[in-house]
Amino acid sequence: MNINSPITELDGVGTKRAELYKKLKIYTVGDLLRHYPRGYIDYSKPVEISAAVMNEHNIIRARVVKKQPAARIRQGLVLYKITVTDDSDNMTIVLYNNRFAYEGLTEGEEYIFSGKVGGNLVRREMNTPMFIKASDPHKLRPVYSLTEGLTSNMVITNVSQALNNVDESAFADHIPDFILRKYSVAAFDYSLRNIHFPDDSDIAAIAKKRLAFDELLSLRLGMLLMKNHSKTQTGFKMKYDDGIVAEFQRELPFELTGAQVNASQEVIRDMCRDYPMNRLVQGDVGSGKTAVAAAAALFAYKNGCQTALMAPTEILAKQHFKTLTDLLSPHGVRVCCLTGSMGAKERRIIEEQIAGGEFDVITGTHALISQSTEFNRLGLVIMDEQHRFGVNQRARLAEKGENPHRLVMSATPIPRTLALIIYGDLDISVLNELPKGRRTIETFAVTEKLRSRACGFVKKQLDEGRQAYVVCPMVEENGSELASAKSYAEKLSSGDFKGYEVGILHGKMSPSEKDETMLRFKSGEIRLLVATTVVEVGVDVPNATVIMIENAERFGLSQLHQLRGRVGRGQHQSYCILIAGTINDEIRERLKIMTETSDGFKISEFDLKMRGAGDFFGERQHGLPEMRFADAATDSELLADVQNAADDIINASSDLNEFPLLKNDIEKMFSSETAFN
Ligand code: ADP
Ligand code: MG
């Protein structure tokens, strides 16, 4: 049997079970071998019955003392009760309709059970547990994604037979030997066997790391190939002008930072090449990414091209409209704004003007990519806070012109190793310097006990003429965001903040309602803005000096850092108060980082160390092929290895023709993501 053999060649897989496997998209033996476990049950560390945590999942090693006869409760429901003991106490195992499991238990024999312990302290019970014989040497059991009718044991049996009978084609290593040795990566043969049936969790981790390495390497190589491919396209080659940044500076109310000047120069140089720019500007909150975008737009304007700037929300689109008008109108640049909430007539007029070339810079939301919008020599496309856009949207905006230059601005500073993998198709500029005179935002982490003192502090700021944000408690899964935001805002405005104008901002509001609220907050009419995380990105209100965040423990650090970046944008000292709803050592350590550093890159580096790369991949998830192993297991070291390995491979064979298996993997990975690029 080989990887392409139909699944029915395995013992016990007839047409009925094959139908079940089909639901999981498993058709061949190879598919089954790539149906990796979701996790493992570790039977190696049982606890005593008397020490089991009630209503939690426990592993218990116990001897069967008595099997009560089957009891027919009602039509179609047979109950089996088995008493087990481990000398610390007794426990009842309860099985429903599972004669097979019941018969698998023998009086006098010892087993290890895995399941939730319920009942009460006097009569403990475990319903429908999984179990193995205590003498079984394989203490780590895979848990697979299943479908109704298919059990874990069936999959285990089938996978095990497949591993033993499939020919060597299943174990061929797609990664060249010299890479495996150089980066101490486990062989594929070893990893495939041990991802399914590891002897212990260390071995499982080695296998998992190898599979994560595979995914990341294919991703990185695919991105590199794509990047090379885009160099064969013809773009709007612009005419280099080394005075453009100085010209831009002359009309600015502030002095550009060195980092802003460098990034602007890099962008301008990119736009003077034969092929289109594909650049990411990464910078901490408040590092002034918008000014770099404006410099690029000015350069495009000087070269007779339009620029489109797409923002993820109406609030941000309008904010950019205002900022770019301020920065660029002294140069004669005509700026407009196009959003989804415009009236049809107004929109038609603006669209005509855009198509007629009466505007040079068009800011907007995804209204920009709608069918009806036509541009006039669109030479530059800028995307702000890029992770909010799907890759389709990115591609569609680019299609509006003929290979326009592309500039992406990311809100989340991420470590370089990770950026190279996730944004591997882009060149990267980093704004690693904040504008002069920025004061650090004083940050405090407190528990709920200190909430009223925190509110007192916020009130004091309001009394001094400043404004404040309060980020709502996070709703429980089944609660409604709307209801809880409203009731929380009411509580504040009738309690601690009685007499102050309190506004509310949440995701269920229409864009125009959100806009109106933001405008009232910007104008100073609203003093305290109660908001869900919709304020997270980009919003700029310099008079707001304090942000209080409820349930801070439930946010990722990078997200907290983004939220904190809403304050500290004006000349006043600003503050951030993190209120933790629950507290433990890990939460304490995480929140402490926030109070100790204001460097977004350091914060995300720490996040990567503590929680792995999963969240970061999630942020750009639309743009990336699906990752199965590149998650919490992925650390900086692995990312750096992958990046070096990709370079080694490209150096050995720039088109990958020497590594056909690997090349095939990459093509498969990227073809399932057809909209990619
Ligand atoms: P972000 O990188 O978070 O998008 P913005 O572009 O919104 O940052 O800039 C944040 C604030 O800093 C704005 O109010 C902007 O006018 C101001 N700013 C930008 N560059 C400078 C600078 N070089 N010196 C002083 N202020 C600046
Ligand atoms: Mg911004």
Mean pLDDT of all residues in 513-527 = 89
Mean pLDDT of all residues in 60-69 = 96
Question: What was the pLDDT predicted at 245?
Answer: 95
Ligand 1 atom index nearest CA of 437 = 25
State in Å: Cα 285 to ligand 2 middle: 7
* Cβ 6 vs Cβ 28: under 8 Å: yes
**Whole-number average pLDDT of the chain:** 89
Question: What was the pLDDT predicted at 623?
Answer: 62
Can you read off the two tokens belonging to residue 300? 């495009």
CA distance 334 to 212: 49
Q: What amino acid occupies position 301?
A: Y
**First-to-final CA distance of the chain:** 38
pLDDT per position as a tens digit, 624-646: 677 778 776 778 889 999 999 99
The pocket around ligand 1, CB under 6 angstroms, is made up of 254-257, 260, 283, 285-291, 435, 540, 569
Among candidates 227, 591, 624, 258, which has minimal Cα distance to 418? Answer: 624
Mean pLDDT of all residues in 185-213 = 94
Q: Is the pLDDT of residue 63 over 70?
A: yes
Q: Which residues pair with 322 in a beta bridge?
A: none
* Cβ 173 vs Cβ 23: under 8 Å: no
> pLDDT-derived band of residue 23, with 50, 70 and 90 as boundaries?
very high
Question: What was the pLDDT predicted at 91?
Answer: 96
Residues 6+ apart with CB under 8 A from 30: 2, 3, 4, 166, 170
State in Å: Cα 194 to ligand 2 middle: 46
* Cβ 558 vs Cβ 285: under 8 Å: no
State in Å: Cα 411 to ligand 2 middle: 7
Phi, psi of 464 (to 5 degrees): -85, 5
Question: What was the pLDDT predicted at 388?
Answer: 53
The upper half-sphere exposure of residue 626, i.e. CA atoms within 13 Å in the direction of its Cβ, equals 4
* Cβ 384 vs Cβ 291: under 8 Å: no
pLDDT per position as a tens digit, 266-302: 999 999 999 999 999 998 888 899 999 999 999 999 9
pLDDT per position as a tens digit, 244-265: 999 999 999 999 999 999 999 9
For residue 216, the surrounding DSSP H or E stretch is helix 201-230
Among candidates 608, 246, 587, which has minimal Cα distance to 446? Answer: 587
Distance from chain centroid for Cα 489: 29
pTM: 0.78
Helices vs. strands in the chain: H and E counts, helices first: 23, 22
Q: Is 410 helix (H, G, I), strand (E, B) or coil?
A: strand
pLDDT per position as a tens digit, 113-123: 999 999 887 88
540, 543, 598: which to mutate for ligand 1, most atoms within 8 A of CB?
540
290, 388, 561: which to mutate for ligand 1, most atoms within 8 A of CB?
290
Protein residue whose Cα sits closest to atom 19 of ligand 1: 288
Question: What was the pLDDT predicted at 401?
Answer: 67
DSSP at 114: E
Ligand 1 atom index nearest CA of 565 = 3
Ligand 1 atom index nearest CA of 283 = 2
Protein residue whose Cα sits closest to atom 20 of ligand 1: 288
DSSP at 24: T
Question: What was the pLDDT predicted at 673?
Answer: 46
Protein residue whose Cα sits closest to atom 24 of ligand 1: 435
Torsion sign, CA atoms 169, 35, 148, 116 = positive
Question: What was the pLDDT predicted at 650?
Answer: 93
State in Å: Cα 410 to ligand 2 middle: 8
Ligand 1 atom index nearest CA of 257 = 23
Question: What was the pLDDT predicted at 121?
Answer: 79
Q: Which residues pair with 359 in a beta bridge?
A: none
For residue 582, the surrounding DSSP H or E stretch is none
Give percent of the chain above pLDDT 90. 62
Ligand 1 atom index nearest CA of 542 = 14
pLDDT per position as a tens digit, 72-82: 988 889 999 99
DSSP 278-344: EEEEEE-TTS-HHHHHHHHHHHHHHTT-EEEEE-SSHHHHHHHHHHHHHHHGGGT--EEEE-TTS-H
pLDDT per position as a tens digit, 652-663: 998 899 999 999
Q: Regarding predicted confidence, which is higher, 29 or 667?
A: 29
Most confident region among 51-55, 309-313, 537-541 by mean pLDDT: 51-55
Tokens 């370089």 sit on residue: 416
Q: Is 586 helix (H, G, I), strand (E, B) or coil?
A: helix
State in Å: Cα 253 to ligand 1 middle: 11
Q: Where are the alpha helices (DSSP H) in 381-505?
A: 391-399, 416-422, 451-463, 481-494
> pLDDT-derived band of residue 536, with 50, 70 and 90 as boundaries?
low
State in Å: Cα 593 to ligand 1 middle: 24
Question: What was the pLDDT predicted at 508?
Answer: 82
Q: Regarding predicted confidence, which is higher, 37 or 509?
A: 37
pLDDT per position as a tens digit, 304-350: 999 999 988 888 888 899 999 999 999 999 999 998 888 889 999 99
Can you read off the two tokens belonging to residue 378? 């669109």
Can you read off the two tokens belonging to residue 574? 């600003």
State in Å: Cα 473 to ligand 2 middle: 25
pLDDT per position as a tens digit, 551-610: 999 888 888 998 998 998 888 999 999 999 888 998 999 999 999 999 999 998 888 888
State in Å: Cα 288 to ligand 1 middle: 4
Give percent of the chain above pLDDT 70. 93
Among candidates 566, 319, 583, 350, which has minimal Cα distance to 466? Answer: 566
Distances (CA, A) of 289 to 259, 320, 361, 398, 421: 10, 11, 17, 21, 22
Protein residue whose Cα sits closest to atom 23 of ligand 1: 256
Q: Is the pLDDT of residue 676 over 60?
A: no
> pLDDT-derived band of residue 675, with 50, 70 and 90 as boundaries?
very low
Question: What was the pLDDT predicted at 397?
Answer: 62
pLDDT per position as a tens digit, 428-462: 999 988 888 788 899 999 999 999 999 999 999 99
